[in-house]
Amino acid sequence: MLINFFFIFFFQVAKREANITIFAYIYTAARSEAMLASESYDTIPYVLAIPNGRPLTPFERLVKPFHYIIWICYSSTLFIAVVFIYMLRFIGKTRIINLVQGDRNQTPLTYLLSILYGISIHKNIPYGNFARFLFNSWVLYNLVLRSAYNGELFKMLHDGTIHNDVETIEQVVQENYTIYTFPSLAEVIKYVQPKAHLKPFDGVYNLDSTLQRIGDENNQEKIAICLLKLTIEYYNQMNPTKRVKILPQILLSSPLVFFMPHHSFLRLRAASFILETHQAGLMRRYRTLILYTTPKKQRQHGEATNLSMSVLMGLFYVYGALMILCIFVFILEMLSKRYRKLQIFLDFLNI
């Protein structure tokens, strides 16, 4: 395995069976005591990679544009308005009804729902001061929320993934992620976050397979990996369908060095080579050769794309349920001709 090769290289250099390590090794005090470290040829941050997100279900696409708090507030406001309308109808005092909903407004619930769906109203608009104030307040309230919902819904229909909201290592620990990393990095993470659940790479969960598990959108495991940012970016480049999310928080930035046996004759030559490499800008060039693709840009506003049936399936489910409700109401209307009490009840609701 790749991890075992790391230690084999170290042992060979420490036992003077090899002259130098040509790999991305970080500088540590323990390693410097066993081997001779060269000057740093690059500094790359270590970051955490977590799952990027899973596909949205058709129904989630309809409700995801608003947070549940917004839905609670919105539905509570609508429920209170409907109850208030029926309370006025139950009280039956014409003066109070005209004051609240207007003397010409005979279908206040219909107007309420029309404004909710953005339907224009031209007839029987209330003229009283208080009624107009309620009317304009409800129009403004729905205008803002409906516009916000439409804008977010457009993006949800085109980008149907739930993006992981975890941004810091503290959140990773709080969400009880299992962090796979090297033993040398495990000490650093444990020092920063003592409660972190760490697990070293082994023969079953090696570096490549762990990244594949994190990038699998059907995998529900809460796992993360701590690696060089360049390594994770290279993986995302080579696996565009199984990308992982790179946390913006940098865990540590460590110098990358070569390791040689103590008193190695390559020390001065390695130092000269590293200096010439920096002066020529070869490390920057090397990065562009490794990472030749740029990160995926966000979709530009208004860019068209085809919406499949699976994307809009949630809308058809809701529409089908409403059609069933309409059939139920139709049956009640037909039965109301035979039953007087049912007719009175439907007339009470018919506003």
Residue 300: predicted pLDDT: 44
Instruction: Give the CATH number of the domain where residue 233 resides.
Output: 3.40.190.10
pLDDT value of residue 303 = 45
Task: Say yes or no: 172 and 50 in one domain.
Answer: yes
74 inside domain: no
Note the pLDDT of residue 161: 62
Domain of residue 322 covers 313-350
Residue where a domain terminates, one of 240, 260, 291: 291
Q: Would you put residue 161 in left (φ > 0), alpha (ψ -120 to 50) or beta?
A: beta
As to burial, measured by CB atoms within 10 angstroms (0-12 exposed, 13-18 middle, 19+ buried), residue 114 is middle
* pLDDT score for 2: 47
| 320 inside domain | yes
Residue partners of 169: CB distance under 8 A and separation at least 6 = 48, 189, 192, 193, 196, 247, 249, 251
Cα gap 123→110, rounded to integer Å: 12
- 147 found inside a domain: no
The beta strand positions in the chain, using DSSP E, are: 25-26, 36-37, 42-51, 178-181, 197-200, 223-228, 244-246, 252-257, 259-260
Residue 73, in any domain of the structure: no
Q: At what angle do helices 108-116 and 68-91 cross, to 10 degrees?
A: 160
Whether 320 and 235 map to the same domain: the answer is no
- Say whether both 34 and 174 belong to one domain: yes
Verify that 235 and 328 share a domain, yes or no. Answer: no
Q: Is residue 325 part of a domain?
A: yes
The count of domains in the chain is 2
Amino acid 54: pLDDT = 67
- Indicate if 209 and 322 belong to the same structural domain: no
Do 171 and 35 belong to one domain? yes
Residue 248 belongs to some domain of the structure: yes
Q: Does 186 lie in the same domain as 234?
A: yes
**What is the C-alpha separation between 63 and 16, in angstroms, rounded?**
64
Residues 177 and 275 in one domain: yes
255 shares its domain with 331: no
Q: Are residues 340 and 250 in the same domain?
A: no
Tokens of 152: 């977010």
Token reading at 293: 């693709």
Confidence at residue 299, expressed as pLDDT on a 0 to 100 scale: 45
Is there a domain that residue 112 lies in?
A: no
Q: Is residue 38 part of a domain?
A: yes
pLDDT, position 7? 61
Q: Supply the pLDDT for residue 312.
A: 57
**Sequential pLDDT tens for the chain (351 residues):** 444 555 666 677 777 778 887 766 777 777 778 888 888 888 888 898 888 876 677 777 778 787 778 888 888 888 888 888 888 877 777 777 766 776 667 778 888 888 888 887 777 776 666 777 777 787 888 888 888 888 878 877 776 566 667 888 888 888 889 898 887 788 888 888 888 888 887 654 577 888 888 888 778 888 888 888 888 888 888 888 888 888 888 888 878 888 888 888 888 888 888 888 888 888 888 778 777 766 554 444 444 445 556 655 666 677 678 778 768 877 887 788 788 888 888 777 765
Q: Based on the domain organization, do 167 and 240 belong to the same domain?
A: yes
Is there a single domain that holds both residue 266 and residue 187?
yes
> Phi, psi (5° rounding) for residue 245?
-90, 130
